Structure 1
Amino acid sequence: MTRVGRPRITFFDLDHTLLPIDSDYAWGEFTQAIGWCDRGEFKRRNDEFFAHYQAGTLDVHDYVRFATEAVRRRGPQAAAEAHERFMREVIRPAVRPAALELVRKHLDSDDEVLIVTATNEFVTAPIARELGVAHLIAVELERGSDGWITGEIAGVPSMREGKVVRVGQWLESRGLDWLDIDSTFYSDSMNDLPLLEKVDHPVATNPDARLRTVALERGWRILDLFTEQE
């Protein structure tokens, strides 16, 4: 039920929701392709972490240390150049018109739109801009005295229950509470069940099998975004 007169805020998960790929995993694959890490060992560990994420058992702190290791070694200039190539070769070809249209529909309706993702800010900030979304809640990376990332996480990681915490902090910084807004969240993943349960309008988007079952049981809207386009 829409809360009349209250600001509408729409939250989107990113990977497999607005993108048909996992940007974090794809970045790892990309660093292998450009020779930044040992292909065999990195792929083994990357696949292992990805399986834990899908199962809901990922230790995000261990993963972020692993996922940012090559970037930390290369430094900010090389990292920025590599990320632009990543955007050009991997992300932009993966962006689907259906996702852009969905984001635009909410923006045109004067919704405040945010991406809320468990992927780190280095990977996702340029992607959010590419999708036309000004506000991003992602895993924040700690920076050392030299201003460069350390491999540790700053604050609460935006994963599972942490997404609810981080969105709550974002609302509080704007003088808002959950009861002050009319909220919608699009996500594909069972990992996002806490935030889906928190909002007024949960939308299971390209849902994994477990989330599809929950959505059907609870009468939530199901949106097969990319299938509907194709």
Structure 2
Amino acid sequence: MNLCLFDLDDTLIPLDSDHAWGEFVTRLGWVDAAEFRRRNDEFFETYKAGKLDVHAYIEFATQPLREHSAEETAAAHRQFMAEVITPRMHDSARQLVQSHVDQGDLVALVTATNEFVTAPIAQAFGIADLIAVRLERGPGGTITGRIDGVPSYREGKVTRVEQWLAGRGLRWSDFERTSVYSDSTNDLPLLERATHPVATNPSPALQAIAGERGWRILNLFK
């Protein structure tokens, strides 16, 4: 059996779903537009620099979810999918995912974006297994603003994948071939565990590293 792990943002879709969700709730009028956009942009820049305080970000980003009912947030996400995500899901990305599914690979989406934002996106790509930032839930399933367990960010992605594999009675060494697709140097710890790392729509920094190491470079959206 082979293993295939996909990053999401700027890898399978040509945008950052976390940042885009922040822009979307701003457009809905759920937040103070100027202040929320300022902080959302600041967090996004620290993420791209590999210096994100993921716990502080989750507390910030889930505020709109904590202030609206489950019914309201579910309806908003359906609108987000229809207006923002689905139109940006390219056939090239869908076909890439399907090719690994058709080969019988064990496929997972591994993302630093939280599970609320990404679960419907994984489903839309036909990916059954999602490894995302888990949101801690309080009484009645309410979102607390904290992270449950290890965040799937940078080295945490490796930890979470290992936990997921262990739950299936598996280890890295059980796979003849491990493919990892990502656009970002944030995912170097995961890419370095792959037998077949693929720099996908890579940032300039990752493209340079991929060139030095002889990794495959794939541009899905050109």
Both proteins in one fold, TM over 0.5:
yes
Aligned Cα root-mean-square deviation (Å): 0.6
Identify the residue that residue 178 of structure 1 maps to in structure 2: 172
Pairing of 1:212-227 with structure 2 (within 5 A): 212-227=207-222
- Once the 2 structures are TM-superposed, how far is the Cα of residue 46 of structure 1 from its aligned partner? 0.4
Q: Mind listing any 5+ residue stretches in structure 2 that lack a counterpart? A: none
- Once the 2 structures are TM-superposed, how far is the Cα of residue 67 of structure 1 from its aligned partner? 0.5
CA distance in structure 1 between the aligned counterparts of 2:4 and 2:171, rounded to whole angstroms: 14
CA distance in structure 2 between the aligned counterparts of 1:99 and 1:160, rounded to whole angstroms: 23
CA contact (8 A) 1:114 1:137 kept: yes
The answer to whether the aligner puts 1:45 opposite 2:39 as a matched pair is: yes
Identify the residue that residue 7 of structure 2 maps to in structure 1: 13
- Once the 2 structures are TM-superposed, how far is the Cα of residue 145 of structure 1 from its aligned partner? 1.4
Match of 1:81 among 75, 86, 98: 75
The answer to whether the aligner puts 1:131 opposite 2:125 as a matched pair is: yes
Identify the residue that residue 111 of structure 1 maps to in structure 2: 105
CA distance in structure 1 between the aligned counterparts of 2:219 and 2:120, rounded to whole angstroms: 25
CA distance in structure 2 between the aligned counterparts of 1:221 and 1:94, rounded to whole angstroms: 24
Q: Deviations over 1:133-181 (max 9, x none)?
A: 1110000000001211111000000000000000001111111111111
Identify the residue that residue 67 of structure 1 maps to in structure 2: 61
The answer to whether the aligner puts 1:35 opposite 2:29 as a matched pair is: yes
CA distance in structure 1 between the aligned counterparts of 2:60 and 2:183, rounded to whole angstroms: 24
Aligned residues: 221
Identify the residue that residue 141 of structure 1 maps to in structure 2: 135
Name the aligned partner's letter for residue 37 of structure 1.
V
- Once the 2 structures are TM-superposed, how far is the Cα of residue 29 of structure 1 from its aligned partner? 0.2
- Once the 2 structures are TM-superposed, how far is the Cα of residue 112 of structure 1 from its aligned partner? 1.3
Q: Mind listing any 5+ residue stretches in structure 1 that lack a counterpart? A: 1-6
Q: Could you state the TM-score of these two structures normalised by the residue count of structure 2?
A: 0.98
CA distance in structure 1 between the aligned counterparts of 2:196 and 2:159, rounded to whole angstroms: 18
The answer to whether the aligner puts 1:56 opposite 2:50 as a matched pair is: yes
Match of 1:158 among 148, 152, 158: 152
CA distance in structure 1 between the aligned counterparts of 2:9 and 2:118, rounded to whole angstroms: 10
- Once the 2 structures are TM-superposed, how far is the Cα of residue 105 of structure 1 from its aligned partner? 0.7
CA contact (8 A) 1:10 1:106 kept: yes
CA distance in structure 1 between the aligned counterparts of 2:201 and 2:158, rounded to whole angstroms: 21
DSSP 3-state at the match of 1:70: helix
CA distance in structure 2 between the aligned counterparts of 1:23 and 1:70, rounded to whole angstroms: 16
Name the aligned partner's letter for residue 130 of structure 1.
A
- Once the 2 structures are TM-superposed, how far is the Cα of residue 121 of structure 1 from its aligned partner? 0.1
Match of 2:197 among 196, 202, 221: 202
CA contact (8 A) 1:75 1:148 kept: no
- Once the 2 structures are TM-superposed, how far is the Cα of residue 47 of structure 1 from its aligned partner? 0.4
Name the aligned partner's letter for residue 100 of structure 1.
R
DSSP 3-state at the match of 1:99: helix
Match of 2:186 among 181, 188, 191: 191
CA distance in structure 1 between the aligned counterparts of 2:82 and 2:180, rounded to whole angstroms: 28
